[in-house]
Each structure stands twice: as structure tokens, then as C-alpha cells.
Structure 1
Amino acid sequence: MRNLYSFICLTLISFFSSCSNQEPAEEKLPNVIVILADDLGYGDIRAFNPDGKIPTPHIDQLAAEGMKFTDAHTPSAVCTPTRYGFLTGRYNWRSKLKSGVLTGKSKALIEDDRTTIADVMKNSGYQTAFIGKWHLGWDWALKGEDTIKGEGWDPKDFDQLDFTKSVTHTPNDLGFDYAYGHSGSLDMAPYVYVENGKVTAIPDTVTVNSGKYSWWREGPTSPDFVHEEVTPNFFERSIQYITDQAKEEKPFFLYLALPSPHTPILPPEEWQGKSGVAPFGDFMMMIDDYIGQVNTAIKNAGIEENTLVIFTSDNGGSPAAGLDVMQAAGHFSSYIYRGHKADAFEGGHRVPFIAKWPAKIKAGTSRDQTICLTDVMATGAEITNYKLKDNEGEDSYSLVELFDADKQVNQFREATVAHSINGSFAIRQGDWKLIMAKGSGGWSFPKPGDPAEADLPEVQLYNLASDPGETTNLQAENPEKVASLKSLLSKYIKEGRSTPGAPQQNDPIEGEWKQIGFVE
């Protein structure tokens, strides 16, 4: 009996000793879901604007379960360039698009050899998918013409597109295993779905709606493309994708690019009048409900703990959504900030940003460091141990250290650059923000060329800590600060990057880039 007892003890000692010498189990890579809303203002979410009049309980819940970033910015105040910056980790003005946005028939903006966040994730073993609004151009097949004639909106302008043939230079060429969506905004023809380079149904009609909030441009429309059903369609496909991929061994990366609440404002009948604010508020409540369904699908699939969900917007709220109507009802899409979509002012590019990842992010936390949507690329790279090359993610800083709410982070980005619709720059460092324009650079007063700009200083300098509403231009009293921010912006432009690394080249363009004039 004593020998048996000794044998058992020795066996147990040997077992536990061998266990202690084993390598720790490799940490499983998280699933990553990025939901990018369209024209959603900072103040449109109750978690960011407690005085907001639009109920958003499900997005608020997402914030309560994760981390809020209260000083998050888009690289541009309009859609196309922000989407470029998010996908490439590179400021949009480094591309050939120096101002404005693309149309529904524009050629591809991102070159096939440009690394995207989808490439990073795919190269790290992820299954990758894009569902939604692309708005970065792809190359439609043509009926014998070498190039598309003009960027016009006349339905005849689309006659040269051959919808029976494959589309090229699509999201599939930029790291996405699966891609399903439409080419531009929901008010930009052609109104067709493209799935993995194939048009899902040939256009058989030309449609337009002239309602106050549901207007869209006239253009060819496929029988399976119903404007009112587009946003629900994208959500439902995404929920199914999450459910299916949760059963697979490989982690997945899903980019859900919403075409809403951008115009056309299309709340279904069951949501109409629910907000008591405006059709935009009703539409926003529908979107919020779908966000809740996505969150529930993640939980039901059993993958919540190790899934990073990011929810944000591509720019501030748009006046086309009826901002004046909502303001009369006491709802301010830009919250306390000046301006709106298209502007260099804060309302143009400060957006809500939520990150939920139960395994790594403490629920109910908040960060006030300045971040940019370009930072998602470096974040994905750090999570997957992918080392970015010098010509990848040139303006991207990883958010991973910020996800640890207990970690003291004194300075995150050296500085952050924003861009208005007309190509005007703004640079932010600490509390200080310099706008390289007399006015908004966008759609709010004073607009570019407005007579009111005549007597204004060439630049604007604001201290956002004491003046978040950008009411008092301090450029005259602080010439040294103006000079230092101008010099830093000049450095970022000339070196082709704002992160540490070897200098890079900005993309060449034909003609003169007028905003380059201040570069030292």
C-alpha cells in the first residue's frame, strides 16, 4: 500500500511538473467587425449627447459594454476620402483625390497594390468581407468605349456601361474574400448591387424619388434594388455572415459600410413618426434597432468575448437631413461643436467612436485622446502581429494601448490632420487646432468665396479646451503657435507620412494642387 501511495505521489508530481513547463496556449485572434455609418453626427447618439432627442438605446448599450472615444475624428469631412483613409491608414489627400467625392460611376481610387486593412487581416489568416456602400470607385465594363465620358448625372451618361460584364478593380482586389454592395451613395446611380464583381441583376428601369427627405438622382435601377430595403438588406446579410462565420475555425473581419443615415432618408412605415423629431430621427431609430440585432447575433453566436466591434461614422451630420428642423426641436447633430458635414470645423469631422471587446476592453470606459479613423489599420496590424511596411498605413497609429483603460497614456498621436470638402486643411495638436482657411472650407457659414470671408484672417487658430465651439480665432495673439502647426503640417505633407518611418511619396496628379501653396 505504501509503495502504491508513493507511486501515485510521484506520478502526480511528474504530471504537474510537466504541465508547468508547457508553453502557454497561443492567444486566439479576435473577430473584428467595423460598422461605419454615413453622415451620422457626434450628437446623434445619446451616449455622446445626453441632451439628444433621438432615442438610441442599442448603440448606447454598445457603448456601455465597451469604450467610448470622445475625441475621435475622420480624416475628411465627406465620405469618399474618409473611406479611403480608413481602409488604407493613409490620409486621403495623399491620393489623387484632393477634394470632393467620387460618383457612382467613378473609376477605382485605390490602386490594387495599395495595402488595405482587409489585406492585413487576410494575410494574418482572417476571412474577410465587405458589405455595404463602397464609394471608392470601381471599374465598370464599357460598351466599346475606352473611358467613361464625364461624371454627369444624366441617365444617358450611363448608356455606355455594360452591366452584363464583370466589374474590375473591386473590393475583392483589395483584400476582401467576399464583397457585396453598391458603388456610391444611395442617392447616386447606377442603383445596382455588385457581388464579387458581378452585377446581381441587370437594370431594367430608371427611377427617381422627389420626396423632401427621400430624394435620389435619376438613374438605371436593377429589379432587386429597392432603395427603402437597402439598409435592412445590408444589416441582414451582415447578421447572417456573422452567424455563419462564427461556426468556422478562422477568425473573420467584416466591414459593414452603411449607406445611412445619409440621404435618402427612408424610415420604414413602422418607424415613421417614432422619434417625434424628424424623418431623420425615425431613420436613425431603425438603424439603432439593427445595431442591437447585430450585437445580439454576436452574443447568440457565442463569440462576444473575443470579438472587437467598432462603431463610428464617416463624417458629421448633413444639412440635407434637415438639421434646421431638428435644431428647432432641440436636437443638435453636432452637439456643442461648430459646423457639420463638409466643414473643417469640428462638426464636420468629430464623430462618435465606440470599441467593444470584452476580452480586452473594460465595459463602461472612456478615452479622451484624439484619434483618427486611419488608426484602425495599425490597430488591426498590432492585434494580428502584422508589421506594417514603410509604405503601408503611413498615417495610422494603433489604438491597442488605449483599449487598456487602466493604462496611463499621456500622448497618443503627435498630431491629427482633417480635410474639408474643398481641400482645406486643419491640423490638431493637443488643445490647439489650426484651420488653413478663412471660413468653413465646406457648406456652413462662411462658405468658400462668401463675401463675408473678405475681411477675415487667412487662417484660424482655436484652443478647443477653452473654446470647443470654435468661436474665438486666436491666430493674431499666437503667431508662434500658428507657425509651429503650419510647419508640422508642411512636414507631414512633404514627407508623405505622419507616423515614424521612411519618407514616402504622395500620389502625383495632373495640374496644380492649390492647397499646397503654404508648404514651406
Structure 2
Amino acid sequence: MPRRACLSCLLVLLWLVGASQIIAAPPNIVVILVDDMGYGDPTCFNPNSKIPTPHIDSLAREGRRFTDAHAPGPLCHMSRYGLITGEYPFRTDVTRWPTEPLVQQDTFTLATLAKRAGYRTAMVGKWHLGFKESGYEHRLPGGPLDCGFDSFFGMRASTDIPPYFYIRGDRAVELPTDHIDDQFSDGWSKIQGVRTLSGGIAPSLKLPDVLPRFTDEAIEVISGHPQDAQEPLFLYVALPAPHTPWLPSSEFAGKSSASLYGDFAMMIDAQIGRILQALTDAQMADDTLVVFTSDNGPCWHPADVERFDHDAVGGLKGMKADAWEGGHRMPFIIRWPGHVAPSSTSEQLVCFTDLMATFASLLGVELPPQAGPDSFDFSPALLMQADLTSTQPAPMREQFVMRAGSAPSMMTIRSGDWKLITQLGSGGFSPPRIVRPGPDDPAGQLYNLAEDLGETTNLYATHPDIVAQLETELRSIMDAGRSRSVSARVDAATLKGKVMCGYQGWFNCEGDGADLGWTHWSRNNRRTMGPGNVTVDLWPDLTEFTEEERFATEFQLADGAPAEVFSSANRATVLRHFQWMQDYGLDGVFLQRFANGLKSGAMLEHKNKVLAHVREGAAQTGRCYALMYDLSGLRGGGVARVYNDWHGLVQTQGMTKDAGYVHHEGKPLVAIWGIGFNDGRKYTLEECQRLIASLKDDGCAIMLGVPTGWREGVRDATNDPLLQEIVAMADIISPWTVGRYQTPAQATNHGEAFWTPDQQWCLQHEIDFLPVAFPGFSWHNLKGAELDAIPRLGGEFLWSQVVAAKQAGCEMLYVAMFDEVDEGTAIFKCTNNTPVGEDIQFLTYEGLPSDHYLKIVGQAARTLRGEIPLRTSLQQ
């Protein structure tokens, strides 16, 4: 009672704050998972259903229906694995379940999470995730008790999979010493009706009694939970129906219009009603979050739809085990009085794996790094107000990946409205399972679910760009071992609110396969990198790098070990860099694409390889990226190659259709850097104007990298009037400032003297403004200049520019650079353990951690967006 009183005290506050909930006391949680019930079975999801489901419907009236919720696999054991672990089941060998536990020791589970939040945990029903079996007379390790549950009563698998016996805790209640024969039903397929496979059975166990017995046990758990308990209750009820055998009791026989199946589904609904009534009787209903769903699609053929006029998948295609929607799109309802709006609906894409991150968010538990790798917090979509026409939260999950139930080689990825199935056929129980494509047939299936939820029109052949994009995303998710970072994606629809970094990606090593030697590490790239042949002032921290990513130089560290560097040609290294961006909250990068390296040959091949890695890294980590063409070094007439390169990338590779490619004002963004400088460049402003006009004709948004004095034609800028005409064509203006000031005080003055009037001018001309900040500068090994010419001051120099940009009213920021160790401007992980030797000098991070500047830039992004207050100093 006291917990309920505390909770109700904040009721008004909770409704006001919507998705940003404050939970005074954790609720009881009851997860009800039924077995093989289709999306179209409950009448609250399908008004034409022939199966009355009053108790499931009551949950929908009192809670929120999710209409785009999915099982992580279209079979029982696959689905349950994802629900319990927050991990896609394709990441493990689910076929091991008959003799081995699928959930490995020390895996963080839903029950582990609940225990960490102070819950008493209980499970009742069908486990189907395996035990370490060595005879049923012995303890059964690896089950619920070893996965965080305090108690368990249930069965090892379905009621048509022998042997049949009850388990309490980790011991058989009664050994399966009797025998039962195969049973099937006339007029039904082999996967329907009273299907029961022969095998051992406990003498006192009667299969028709299993469903009500599990309900009785669940009610006993609820009624036995003290009302004044300090521990809330977490109860997972896995009811084994309407999975075969269909065994409705006499009370329900013949009561539905969907024959034996419908009668059994009615009985399931009644059991759910008994559980809900038990919560009411125990005075727990108001304090309990109830989740209802099914583990996978039904065993219901198209012929059954015609025969009984009941569509168990509610207009979807397919059935249990299929890659089609009927196999995995599930009825999904959450009721939580006072927190979830009654009679409400959400179209948010949800997977069962998401319960872990969502519960963690609601209960204030921080998930360990390895926990719930495919789990996303959908609590904003759960807790928002009933008026869905108002501010809808940004999507929490944008992708969903699944392996088909009966075709291990068939994978499915859903991204936005698009769904790709990698082969032809159902991949499950619907015939044909696999179709071998003919010479002119598509290799797989592509559907736009927003326009074709029934998956009737295969668009695979007509949208190769979408197929390629989804294949890249799928490969990234499968290779990464986790997807949470993929779907927690930065909004690439605008540059506003972003802190972007420049990404050079121009480092090569001898032996990296690019045939470019030690480019950008050394002065002579064909000589070994070592003393006297080096151009960088910072040394990368390779502590986390694999052996394949490391390239030894002739420099030595203080302990005598060879100093090593990385190559940007290495896929794993670029993906690692993007993982750092995700880890520290960096929004993304402008990939530098120097125009003087766009001729055919090894340099262009390297640039294209790095671009491919960046695209994959952005997809894998949910970061965004855009191309920045640097015109530096071009001769007269050379600017035209930029358009040819851009046009080729867009047309042949579909780059701008990547989910992570930055758009601005609805148009793909391309940056052109190096326009209007007065340093004697060979290419002309007329060339630049023609380039920009062509790109705008193609529907691009243009960001121009210009000199600091661009607005008045002073300092580093030409005073040619044509520069002003070009500036007027831009969508974003970004003045270069590296080296233009050297101390925090000078940075503050620069912001007042240049950025503030620049920002005001841009507002007047409806152009956006992107200032450039940098952490420090050094040109010692590259140019022979003073080491640490512009000191970093522990990050205060960089932060002073963040403050200046914020105070000037800027809505975006460019940090130069992510990886440029050449000029000492890198913000990625660099080491304090640099090479040593006579006349050898390198910068360090002043003894600070190697991720110090990544953290600062992450804080800058949050500050710029107003997520945290502005601090005028890092020490504040």
C-alpha cells in the first residue's frame, strides 16, 4: 500500500512530463508470453477476428497497443532467447537447446536486470531455452534459476515436444517414466490440431491440464507476494498455447467460429483474465506494468482462412517460422495505470529484445556494456500522451534484423519502411520455403511496408540502390555483434544541432595493400617511417587495436618496443573510429576528399576504399557523414573533376540514399572547401561558381569552406566581388579559423569580432553558419615550425571556442579534425607514450587520458543542443 500511495502522489506530474518520467517507486512487472498466437487473433488487433478475446481486449482498452512489434525470431526458442537476453537469436546456435542451455553462464538477462533493481523474480511456464541435460533424475543446470529467477515452475519445451514433465526450480517434479504415442488430427496439417509427438511422460501429467496448471502457479506467485513487500515482483508467465496440441477444455469447446484453434485461443484469453483478476484481488493492479504478446506467428494456412473466414495473421503474409510479416509481427500490449495512456496506439518499431533496455530506463538501472546488444529503449513511445498527433518522439529503433525459422541462410532486415529478405521463398513453414532464382529472377525480396504491408509486390529488381544499402546495413549489424548503436542513429536530415568533425582518412602504411607506402606519416612515403622521415606531431593510441591493424615503424618507445601506427585503408580501423564517435556522442564527420587525388590510380582507389569504410561505419554506429571536397592544390580547370566524381558516386553507388548521409533542408549536403582565399590558388572563382551551380541544379545543398574574412574581403580573403555572388548561392557558410587565434582570450575576441556578425549576416540572408573550432596546432615535424605552436591547455583552448560559438548563437559546429595528427589538431585517441630518441619530438595529451578530447567534443554537442547548461570553463 505505501508504494502505491507514493506512486499516485506523482500521478499529475507524470502525465505532465510525458516521456520524461520520474518513477517514485518501481512497479511490479508481469510479462505474459503466449505461444503461436497470430497478429490477427485478438479482436483488438483484428476487428474481423472470429475469436472472442475480451481479456486481451481489456488490456488494450487500459493500455497501449503497439502495431509494429516483432519477435526476434519466428520460432519459439528463437523468440524466447531474444526476449530474455536482449540479443538477436541469430547471434548464437539456437539448435543446441534440446541438450544444452542457450543462455550462457553470466549472461545479463531480464531477470538479472530485475534482481539488480531489487525485484523478487519468478517464472512460470514454458522455458524452451535448454538445460544441461545429463539425466532427468539429476539437477537441470542452465535454466531459469541460473538466469536470474528466484523461482521456476514449468516445462522444458512445448506440450508437443517430449519428454513431458514438470520442473520446479531445477529438478523434475516427477520423472517421465511413462510413454505417450503420436497423435494427429484428421482434417488438419501435421503442425496443427492435437499434434503430440511420442515420448516419455510423467505418470501424473495430463497434457490438457498443463495450461490451467501454469495459470494456477502464476496466481499463486501473485497472491503469495506480500502487499507491503519492499521487493516489487517481476513475473514472467510463458503460457504454452495456442501452440499444438490444441486442447480446449469443455468450457470452450465449440465456442469460437475458428474451430479447435479458436476454441483453444479463447481458453488462453480466459487464463489471462484469471491472472489479471489475481492482480486485482492482491491489490497490485494499479502498481503493475503488464506486457502481453505472442512468441511468433500462428500455424494457420491460407486454406484455413478460406475455410473458417478467420485470418489469424490479420492481413499479413505468412505464418510461423516465415520471414514474411505473419511469422514475426506480433500483438503487443502494455498496460500501466497512471503511466501509459489507455486506449492508445503506437506505430513505433519494437522488438522483444527491447524490453531489457526499456525496463532498464524505467527502473534507473545502467546496463553493463555487454548487456542487451540488440535492445533499444522505447519508453518514450510507451509513456507519451494519448494524443499521438502532438509531438511524436524520434524513432528509437529504426532497424530490425531476423533469421528465418527454417532457412538458416535467409536473413531479413527492416530499415524504415523498407524490408529486405535475402532469398526467395518464405524461409519457414509456408510453401515454398526456398525458391532458387531463374536467370531473370531477382535474388531476393524487397518490400515497401508503408505501401505494401501484405508483401505482394517484390521491388528487388527495380530498386538496386535500396537493396545495396540494406545489404550494407545488414552486414554491419551481423558483423558488429550488436545493433543498439546502429539504430540509435543521429538524425541525418539536418546539420542543425550537430557537432561534426573533419575526417581525413588519408593515412597509409607499407603493406596495407594500397601501394601508397607511408603516405601522410612520412615525408618520403617510399622510405620506412622513422627518425628523419616523419610528418606527424601526435602519435595515435593503438592500445585497443588488433595485431592486423598495427604497422611497425623504425621509431622506438621508451621500453624499446617498436612504435606502431595504423592505416586508414584498414576497414577495422575506420569502423573503430566510428565506434569511438558513437561511444562519446560525436554526431559524425565530413569526409575529406581532396580533389587533386581524384584522378584514376592508387590514390583514388584508396579514397574510395575509405569512403566505403566510412559508409559502413556510419551505418553500423548510427553516425552521419557528408563529403567535403577540398580544392587545395588544384590547377586551373581542375575544379570540374569534383562534379564528375560526385555525380558518379551518387549515380553508381547511391551514396546520398544512405540513412546516415547528411541532408540539409531536404537536400543531400556536399561541402566545397577552399573558395575565396587570397593565397595564390590556381583555380578560379568562375570555375567554383560553375561547380556550385551544377550541384544545385542536381538538387544538392551546398556548404562552402571560405576564409575568415569572407564577408568583407579582408585578412585571408580575396576582395573579388564574385566571391560574394558565390556566397549568396550557399546553404551553409563555414569560415576557416585554424591558426587565426592562439589563446582562449583571442578565441573569445574572434567570436565577438567575426562569428557574431557572421551569424547575423547569415540569418539576414537565410543562410546557415558553421564555425570551425580546433583543439590546438603544431607543425613541427611537417614544417619544422615550433612544436606546440598553439597549446591545447588541457582542452580549455578548444572549449573557449565552443563557448564563443554558443554565445554567438550558432546552431552547429565543425571541429578540425578527428584524425589529423599531421598538424597536431587530432581529437581522437592519442598517446602520451610517444617515440623517444635524439632530436625526436612529439606532442602528448599532457598526461591526460587518450579519450580526453573525444569527451570534450561529446560535451560540446550536448551543450550546443542545449541538453546541458553552458559552462564557460572546463573547470567550472
2:237 paired residue number: 256
The letter for the 2-side match of 1:472 is T
1:164 paired residue number: 137
1:140 lines up with 2:120 in the alignment: no
SS in 1 for 2:203: coil
Instruction: Report how far residue 306 of structure 1 moved.
Output: 1.9
Structure 1 residues 60, 246: closer, same or farther in 2, change over 3 A?
farther
Residues 77 and 129, structure 2, Cα contact 8 Å, conserved in 1: yes
Deviations 1:321-374 (A, max 9, x none): x76335422101111111111110000110100000013101110001111010
Map 1:312-323 → 2, pairs under 5 A: 312-319=293-300
Structure 1 residues 410, 251: closer, same or farther in 2, change over 3 A?
same
The letter for the 1-side match of 2:54 is P
Distance in 2 (alpha carbons) for counterparts of 1:168 and 1:411: 39
Residues 334 and 340, structure 1, Cα contact 8 Å, conserved in 2: yes
1:366 paired residue number: 345
Distance in 2 (alpha carbons) for counterparts of 1:31 and 1:451: 50
Residues 404 and 411, structure 2, Cα contact 8 Å, conserved in 1: yes
Deviations 1:204-240 (A, max 9, x none): 3101352412121111111232110001111111012
Distance in 2 (alpha carbons) for counterparts of 1:480 and 1:122: 46
The letter for the 2-side match of 1:207 is I
1:491 lines up with 2:464 in the alignment: no
The letter for the 2-side match of 1:126 is Y
Structure 1 residues 78, 102: closer, same or farther in 2, change over 3 A?
farther
Instruction: Report how far residue 300 of structure 1 moved.
Output: 1.9
Residues 47 and 60, structure 1, Cα contact 8 Å, conserved in 2: yes
Distance in 1 (alpha carbons) for counterparts of 2:413 and 2:230: 43
1:420 lines up with 2:404 in the alignment: yes
Distance in 2 (alpha carbons) for counterparts of 1:336 and 1:323: 11
Aligned residues: 454
Residues 278 and 325, structure 1, Cα contact 8 Å, conserved in 2: no
Q: Residue 106 of structure 2: which of 108, 113, 117 is its match? A: 113
1:438 lines up with 2:424 in the alignment: yes
1:408 paired residue number: 392
1:125 paired residue number: 118
Instruction: Report how far residue 249 of structure 1 moved.
Output: 2.6
Structure 1 residues 467, 26: closer, same or farther in 2, change over 3 A?
closer
Distance in 1 (alpha carbons) for counterparts of 2:316 and 2:477: 26
SS in 1 for 2:380: helix
SS in 1 for 2:237: strand
Structure 1 residues 26, 263: closer, same or farther in 2, change over 3 A?
closer
Distance in 2 (alpha carbons) for counterparts of 1:336 and 1:462: 15
1:228 lines up with 2:195 in the alignment: no
Distance in 1 (alpha carbons) for counterparts of 2:440 and 2:29: 49
Instruction: Report how far residue 384 of structure 1 moved.
Output: 1.7
The letter for the 1-side match of 2:202 is S
TM-score after normalising by structure 1: 0.84
SS in 1 for 2:447: strand
Distance in 2 (alpha carbons) for counterparts of 1:361 and 1:481: 36
2:48 paired residue number: 51
The letter for the 2-side match of 1:271 is F
1:280 paired residue number: 261
Distance in 1 (alpha carbons) for counterparts of 2:443 and 2:100: 35
Q: Residue 37 of structure 1: which of 28, 34, 39 is its match? A: 34
Residues 122 and 235, structure 2, Cα contact 8 Å, conserved in 1: yes
Distance in 2 (alpha carbons) for counterparts of 1:284 and 1:300: 24
Distance in 2 (alpha carbons) for counterparts of 1:80 and 1:186: 14
1:87 lines up with 2:80 in the alignment: no
Distance in 1 (alpha carbons) for counterparts of 2:113 and 2:339: 21
2:448 paired residue number: 463
Map 1:239-254 → 2, pairs under 5 A: 239-247=219-227, 248-254=229-235
Distance in 2 (alpha carbons) for counterparts of 1:361 and 1:418: 29
Residues 131 and 256, structure 1, Cα contact 8 Å, conserved in 2: yes
Residues 417 and 425, structure 1, Cα contact 8 Å, conserved in 2: yes
Structure 1 residues 246, 307: closer, same or farther in 2, change over 3 A?
farther
TM-score after normalising by structure 2: 0.50
The letter for the 1-side match of 2:296 is N
Q: Residue 447 of structure 1: which of 410, 418, 433 is its match? A: 433
Residues 109 and 137, structure 1, Cα contact 8 Å, conserved in 2: yes
Structure 1 residues 214, 493: closer, same or farther in 2, change over 3 A?
same
The letter for the 2-side match of 1:285 is M
Residues 23 and 362, structure 2, Cα contact 8 Å, conserved in 1: no
Deviates more, 1:121-130 or 1:290-299: 290-299
* Bigger Rg over Cα: 2
Distance in 1 (alpha carbons) for counterparts of 2:96 and 2:40: 27
Residues 74 and 322, structure 2, Cα contact 8 Å, conserved in 1: yes
SS in 1 for 2:311: coil
Q: Residue 246 of structure 2: which of 242, 258, 265 is its match? A: 265
Distance in 2 (alpha carbons) for counterparts of 1:434 and 1:377: 26
Q: Residue 308 of structure 1: which of 284, 289, 292 is its match? A: 289
Structure 1 residues 293, 338: closer, same or farther in 2, change over 3 A?
same
Instruction: Report how far residue 455 of structure 1 moved.
Output: 6.0
SS in 1 for 2:140: coil
Instruction: Report how far residue 404 of structure 1 moved.
Output: 2.0
Query: For the aligned residues, what is the CA RMSD?
Result: 2.1
Distance in 2 (alpha carbons) for counterparts of 1:326 and 1:279: 14
SS in 2 for 1:500: helix
1:206 lines up with 2:203 in the alignment: no
1:293 paired residue number: 274
Structure 1 residues 134, 54: closer, same or farther in 2, change over 3 A?
same
Deviations 1:62-89 (A, max 9, x none): 1111000001011111111111000000
Distance in 2 (alpha carbons) for counterparts of 1:284 and 1:454: 45
Distance in 2 (alpha carbons) for counterparts of 1:455 and 1:312: 41
Instruction: Report how far residue 190 of structure 1 moved.
Output: 1.1
Distance in 1 (alpha carbons) for counterparts of 2:302 and 2:127: 25
SS in 2 for 1:35: strand
Q: Residue 62 of structure 1: which of 35, 59, 62 is its match? A: 59
